[in-house]
Amino acid sequence: MTKEELDRLIAKMTPTEKSEFFALIAAEKKEPVFKDVAFKAQTAFLEDQARMKVVLCTRRSGKSYGAGLMLMRDAYETPNVSCLYVALTRASAKRIMWKDVLKTIDREQALGCRFNETELSVTLPNGSMIYLLGMDADEQEKDKALGQKFKSVVIDEAASYGVDLHEMVYGILKPATADYRGTIAMIGTPGNMKRGLFYDLTKGQVPGEAGRWEKMGWSGHRWTAFDNPHMADKWKAEIEDLKLANPLIEETPLFQQHYLGKWVIDDSNLVYRFDYEKNTFDELPPITKKGRWHYVLGIDLGFNDPTAWVVCAYHDSDRTLYVLGAHKKEKCDITEVADQTRKLMGRFDFDRIVIDNANKQAVEEMRRRHDIPLVGAEKAGKADFMELMNGDFVSARIKLHKKAAAPLIDEYSQLIWDDRSQRREEHPGCANHCTDAALYAWRHCYAYLSDMRQDNGLRYGKSEDEWMLLQEEQELERLLQEKRNMEAEIELYGDPLDRLN
Ligand SMILES: Nc1ncnc2c1ncn2[C@@H]1O[C@H](COP(=O)(O)OP(=O)(O)OP(=O)(O)O)[C@@H](O)[C@H]1O
Ligand SMILES: [Mg+2]
């Protein structure tokens, strides 16, 4: 029967027939089901009563769909409540949730939702709403979305935020779920940023062994796309294809992150080519050749961010830069920075103290009031100098003290490029305080280290060709000097050739 035929039939019914007819349809209408019992791991996540849940999975494991089921269920079960879905950007929130998850669930469960494309919000017939929010939204939009009380909140793509989610979860979202004793679910696949709340909660978990864990009051769930009955076969075929194309694919960090769900860093994405084996030391080498040690201090100033101090040393007869120590401290005022710097000055006789010059007032105050001889760091061409510094890491010409420079080692091991940016920019979510302080100090030392010559006058690390070039340069310089002397003499005494005329 077509819709028109049905409408004609209903129109002919008496009021009693009509109400009997609709009562019959209502009785027939099934209650929606917000889970797929064949999908055990996702169902375990959905049925978990914990108020804070965290999910670590591979790609395509059903994280987002599971989150969509949770939001729809919570909005459906309690009238007039709000639920929130947060993704990295508004565009990704829409791409992930809108058509493939929320509209699909609405259609399959015949919920009768209204979708507002401009606001990215869904209204259920019971008055409940689901909002989609991208972290890139402007402040006003964010305030509007976040300034409510929520029955449930999902934070998707949790490994990729530039900001640490700590503040957002405990400062904003957790209080916003208090009224309903609502739920927060944070879900994601490992990424390159081994830092922040999501990492802290999920490190050491291997999705390949599906299961549960508890940490810091959060209930953890992990599984892979093999546990997702809607994906398992396709996932298997996909991995086979990848292996066929590249037999070593399993060793790549991307495969380990996305296909195995492991927290490994893609080294190629690290900003500095620091290698723990190659670039650390326990004790300074005993140097018997002539010369002395030079000490340089690098300081990166911050107030909300930590201030960092990095002490470097090199010897006249050794081209290696030794980082003797690194230290960082949050919320230092100028006097504290000056005191800490003085303390270091008491221990080392610095050739130079190089400081980030962005806060000129603070630097000037330390120079004048605290009598610290600071030199502003060169900032232009940062990217070029990072490249040069990387050359020194690769050729083991920079070494960090394993213990005393630990905060710097930590930063080198975690600082990655921001792959969301077109330009080569450091990821704003990673700490770069000690790394910047070290760069300022290294940049000052670099000029001396690269100009250092061996006993034969040859620059370190240069070839025989360069030795020949050096000889030629010296000969040319000698001839030029002779010419200059001659010209000076002519100026004083006149040209001897003139006197012959
Ligand atoms: N309960 C379910 N019922 C039906 N289909 C499901 C269910 N759970 C997951 N799927 C399907 O499995 C596939 C992967 O799901 P989803 O997109 O949620 O995975 P994901 O882990 O978020 O992936 P990504 O890492 O790419 O974001 C999709 O095609 C989705 O429709
Ligand atoms: Mg997803």
Residue 501 has pLDDT above 50, yes or no: no
Q: Which of 265-269, 358-362, 409-413, 429-433 has the lowest mean pLDDT?
A: 265-269
Average pLDDT of 159-188?
91
pLDDT band at 366 (very low <50, low <70, confident <90, very high): very high
Could you say which ligand is closest to the alpha carbon of residue 60?
1
Tell me phi and psi for residue 89, to 5 degrees. -130, 165
Closest by Cα among 52, 316, 372, 386 to 198: 52
pTM, rounded to two decimals: 0.63
Q: Which CATH superfamily is domain 40-234 in?
A: P-loop containing nucleotide triphosphate hydrolases (3.40.50.300)
Q: Return the CATH class of domain 280-451.
A: alpha beta
DSSP labels for 302-349?
-SSSPEEEEEEEEETTEEEEEEEEEEEESS--HHHHHHHHHHHHHH--
Ligand 1 site-directed mutation target among 39, 58, 65, 108, most atoms within 8 Å of CB: 65
Closest by Cα among 56, 253, 84, 254 to 157: 56
Q: How far apart are CA 499 and CA 501, in angstroms?
A: 5
Predicted local confidence at residue 4, as pLDDT: 86
Measured distance between the N- and C-terminal CA atoms of the chain, rounded to whole angstroms: 127
Average pLDDT of 321-332?
94
Comparing 475 with 8, the larger pLDDT belongs to 8
Residues 6+ apart with CB under 8 A from 18: 10
- Domain ranges (residues) in the chain: 40-234, 280-451, 464-500
* Residue 211, phi-psi category: left (phi > 0), alpha (psi -120 to 50), beta (remainder): left
Predicted local confidence at residue 234, as pLDDT: 96
CA of 64 to the centre of ligand 2 (A): 4
> Which residues have CB under 6 Å of ligand 1?
36, 39, 42, 57, 59-66, 189, 228, 230-231
Ligand 1 atom closest to residue 35's alpha carbon, by position in its atom list: 1
